[in-house]
């Protein structure tokens, strides 16, 4: 066990015993000196032996006796972290060998950096899912241009630009990082009061970054394209839709908490839903056919991809993107219906011992 590491990697896991070994193996192969970092697995109330797998592989292990959600799990990890830098990845991720060295080097070169986000490469055993996500990656960090304005016309211009050109060149400074590949100075997370534990899954890192930017002096978050983590997505197409809906619920909570922000309103799903309704009510077959073909024109970059890739497969991608955007807005409606009630952090301020906190077990790694 590393007694005084510079960096702590927190891996939150719920019923991920079969996935976790890949993540931990990738962390054991880091080029960063082993005495400079520790690996801490937070078992979020699993019932499949996740904590035992983590301990057997030499990771420090915290076990939450009940499923508390991703934000609470991360707070527990921050509370137990020994490093002044805390990096986060997920149990379904595989870190490049240079990941931690790249992350730590950025913090050590520039003491004004508050946090960093790295590049997340989508991967899947399903080739169709992999190809779609590689061209429409849902785990891209959000650039700092979003800090310029929350005006509807400004956000609409960004949306149209991405519909025509894709996401373009990666940003250098960030509005928000991605949870699968992010790191912060520990003191910043503590100063902010940790991740909001009402956000069980979806948008919890974005909400933390929002508070960081709004504190006195703001925040400096950098994008590190050379800090690479591969995220293994479920091979089922529907899992991407599920993630979009969960993100939408998180966005709704963020809006209810920060009323001066805006929920997401994608214009294409709303337009096509209107056309479909008009076609059904008016019994207009041509309008229904137009509605069915409209996604290809609404997301024209996929038509360009057909020619570039010399494949007809991208013709399906507009409908997947439409489904993701619609699921996000459905998730928002669900989140608005559920509402938001602030709760204090249960885990960030805990003194973690085996006996003092009945909700937490701090298990030593296997010898």
Give me the torsion for CA of 165, 170, 172, 177, rounded to 10°.
110
Nearest to 199 by CA among 255, 270, 120: 255
Taken in order 297, 121, 177, 73, is the CA torsion positive or negative? positive
Q: State the total domains in the chain.
A: 2
Query: Which pLDDT belongs to residue 282?
Result: 83
* Euclidean distance between CA atoms 14 and 62, whole angstroms: 12
Give Dmax (Cα) for the chain: 72
Which residues span the domain enclosing 62? 7-235
Residue 329 domain-assigned?
yes
Residue 221 CA to residue 147 CA, distance in Å, equals 12
Question: Do 271 and 230 share a domain, yes or no?
Answer: no
- In this structure, are 103 and 204 located in the same domain? yes
Whether 159 is in a domain gets the answer: yes
350 occurs within a structural domain: no
- Beta-carbon contacts of 289 under 8 Å, excluding residues fewer than 6 positions away, are none
Question: Distance between CA atoms of 230 and 122, rounded to whole angstroms?
Answer: 6
Q: What is the pLDDT of residue 287?
A: 86
Q: Residue 277: enclosing H or E segment and its boundaries?
A: helix 267-282
Q: Which of 189, 182, 211 is nearest to 117 (CA)?
A: 182
Residue 194 lies in a domain: yes
140 and 221 in a single domain? The answer is yes
Amino acid 358: pLDDT: 34
Residue 336: burial class (beta carbons within 10 Å; 0-12, 13-18, 19+) = middle
Please state the φ and ψ torsions of residue 93, each to the nearest 5 degrees.
Answer: -120, 160
User: What does the chain come to in residues?
Assistant: 367
Q: What is the 3-state secondary structure (H, E, C) of 169-214?
A: CCCCEEEECECCEEEEEHHHHHHCCCCCCCCCCCCHHHHHHHHHHH
Helix (H) or strand (E) holding 229: strand 221-233
Which tokens belong to 30? 């880091």
Q: What tokens were used for 275? A: 């056309």
User: What is the C-alpha to C-alpha distance for residues 327 and 20, in angstroms, rounded to an integer?
Assistant: 28
Say how many C-beta atoms besides its own lie within 10 A of residue 55's C-beta. 19
44, 42, 91, 41: which is closest to 66 by C-alpha? 44
User: Is residue 12 domain-shared with residue 132, that is, in the same domain?
Assistant: yes
Report helix, strand or coil for 29.
coil
Q: Considering the domain boundaries, does residue 247 fall inside one? A: no
Give residue 266's region: left, alpha or beta (phi > 0; psi -120 to 50): beta
Query: From the CB of residue 199, how many other CB atoms can be counted at a distance below 10 Å?
Result: 24
Residue 18 lies in a domain: yes
What are the phi and psi torsion angles at 137 (to 5°)? -65, 120
Within this chain, do residues 200 and 292 fall inside the same structural domain, yes or no?
A: no
Q: In this structure, is residue 139 part of a structural domain? A: yes
Same-domain status, 82 and 208: yes
301-309 and 152-165 helices, crossing angle to 10°: 20
Q: Are 83 and 8 in contact (CB under 8 A)?
A: yes
Do 26 and 125 belong together in one domain? yes
Q: Do both 216 and 306 map to the same domain?
A: no
Q: Residue with structure tokens 């790191």?
A: 183
Mean pLDDT, 10 residues at a time, over the chain (367 residues)?
Answer: 83 93 97 96 92 90 90 94 96 97 97 96 93 88 81 76 68 92 96 92 92 94 97 90 93 93 88 88 85 86 84 92 94 94 80 40 37
In terms of domains, do 17 and 134 share one?
A: yes
If asked whether residues 178 and 303 sit together in one domain, one would say no
Q: Are residues 217 and 288 in the same domain?
A: no
| 58 and 184 inside one domain | yes
What CATH number does the domain containing 46 carry?
3.90.550.10
DSSP 320-365: HHHHHHHHHHHHHHHHHHH-------SSTT----TTT-TTEEEEPP
Question: Contact at 8 Å (CB) between 205 and 182?
Answer: yes
């Amino acid at each position: 066990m590393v007694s005084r590491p510079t960096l702590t990697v927190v891996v939150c896991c719920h019923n991920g015993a079969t996935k976790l070994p890949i993540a931990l193996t990738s962390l054991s192969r880091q080029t960063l000196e082993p005495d400079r970092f520790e690996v801490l697995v937070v078992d979020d109330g699993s019932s499949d032996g996740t904590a035992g797998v983590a301990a057997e592989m030499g990771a420090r292990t915290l076990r939450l006796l009940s499923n508390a959600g991703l934000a609470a799990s991360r707070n527990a990890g921050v509370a137990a972290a020994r490093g002044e830098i805390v990096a986060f990845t997920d149990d379904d991720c595989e870190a490049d060998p240079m990941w931690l060295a790249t992350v730590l080097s950025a913090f050590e070169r520039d003491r004004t950096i508050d946090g960093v986000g790295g590049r997340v490469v989508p991967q899947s055993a399903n080739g169709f899912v992999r190809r779609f996500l590689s061209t429409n990656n849902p785990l891209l960090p959000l650039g700092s241009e979003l800090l310029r304005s929350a005006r509807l016309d400004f956000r609409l211009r960004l949306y149209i630009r991405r519909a025509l050109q894709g996401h373009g060149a990666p940003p250098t400074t960030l509005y928000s990082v991605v949870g699968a590949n992010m790191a912060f100075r520990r003191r910043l997370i503590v100063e902010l009061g940790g991740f909001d534990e009402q956000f069980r899954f979806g948008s919890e890192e974005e909400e933390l970054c929002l508070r960081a930017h709004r504190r006195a002096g703001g925040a400096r978050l950098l994008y590190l394209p050379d800090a690479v983590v591969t995220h293994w997505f479920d091979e089922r197409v529907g899992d991407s839709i599920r993630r979009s809906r969960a993100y939408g619920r998180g966005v709704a909570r963020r809006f209810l908490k920060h009323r001066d922000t805006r929920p997401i309103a994608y214009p294409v799903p709303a337009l096509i839903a209107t056309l479909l309704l008009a076609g059904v009510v008016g019994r207009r077959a041509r309008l229904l056919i137009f509605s069915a073909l409209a996604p290809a024109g609404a997301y024209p970059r996929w038509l360009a991809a057909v020619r570039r890739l010399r494949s007809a497969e991208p013709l399906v991608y507009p409908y997947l993107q439409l489904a993701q955007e619609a699921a996000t807005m459905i998730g928002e409606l669900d989140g608005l219906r559920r509402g938001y009630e602030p709760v204090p952090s249960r885990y960030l301020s805990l003194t973690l011992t085996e006996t003092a906190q009945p909700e937490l077990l701090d298990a030593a790694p296997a010898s």
